[in-house]
Structure 1
C-alpha cells in the first residue's frame, strides 16, 4: 500500500499540469482586450475617424463601443465574442449618460457598469462590465466651436430610425473570434 507521502506527491504532480492548463485557458478571458482611444483593436467595437469613441467596454461575452460623428450622431458598435456576431446601429444618449440602441425590437443599454439586453420589459441578459473606458473628449476642429462639456444633451433631435443592413457583415475580426 503506498504511503501518504507517495500519494500526495502523485496528486501534486498531476495537479500541476492541470493548474497550468487552466491558467492558460482562463487568462485570455480574464484580461482586457487590447485597446486605444478609439476602442478595441481588431474589433467591431471600435470607432473610425472622423468618428470618436465616447465610451467602450467589455463584458465576459461582449465588446461594445459608442461612437460620435462630427455632427453629433451616436452609433452603437457591438460584438458577441462567442461567435463574432456584430451589431452596428444608431444610438441615443440619455440625460444620465447611458446609451441605448434598438435593433429589431431588442434594446441594448450601455452604462459604465453593465450591458443590458432586453425585449420590452423582459431582460434577456444583464452583463457586468469587466473593462470600461471613457476616452478624453475629442478635440474639435479649429473652424467649428465645440459645445461646452457642461451643456446638457439636446433633447430636440429628430428620432433616429433603425434599419437592418441589406449587406452581410464581414467575418469576425481577430479580436472577435470566440470558441471554435
Structure 2
C-alpha cells in the first residue's frame, strides 16, 4: 500500500498495553455525510434488549470523580479535565460488528467512526466528533473541538449561538486550552 495506515488504541494508564496494527488492506470511501443513501434506514439492531450493560466506572463512582476533578480545578491544579466512562456490553448472540459500525456512523455522519482490533477476540468500536490526529503526506492534522454549540435548523438561531460562544468566558477558555 503506498499509504500505509496504523490503527489501534493507546491506553492512558502507564501500565496499559497498546494495541496497534498495520492492516493488510485498507478500503476507503467518501465521508458518510456525502452519501445520498444516508437517508435510508440502516440495518436492524438485532437483540439489544438481551444485552448486559456494565458501567465502568459505575455512576456513583463517576460522579465522585467529577466532583473531585471540580474541586482540584477550583484549587488551581488543572485548567481542563476530560473524564470518560465505558459501557461494557455483553450479548448472548454473535455480534454483528459491521452492522454496529454502520448504525453508529449513521448517528453522526460527519464524525469519525472506528472499529479497531484491540487484542485476541476484542474490538474497540466507537465514534468521535473530533479527529485527534492524522497525517496527510508530510502534514500532521488535528481537529480538536472546544467551545462548541449544536447547530439549529434556522440561520438566525445559528448566528445567535455563534455570538454567544464568542462572548462566553468558559468557551473561550476551553478554546484557548485546546489551541
TM-score range, shorter chain: under 0.3
Query: Greater relative contact order (Cα 8 A, min sep 6): structure 1 or 2?
Result: 1
- Higher helix fraction: Structure 1 or Structure 2? 2
- Higher strand fraction: Structure 1 or Structure 2? 1
TM-score using structure 1 length? 0.21
Q: Which has the larger radius of gyration?
A: 1
TM-score using structure 2 length? 0.22
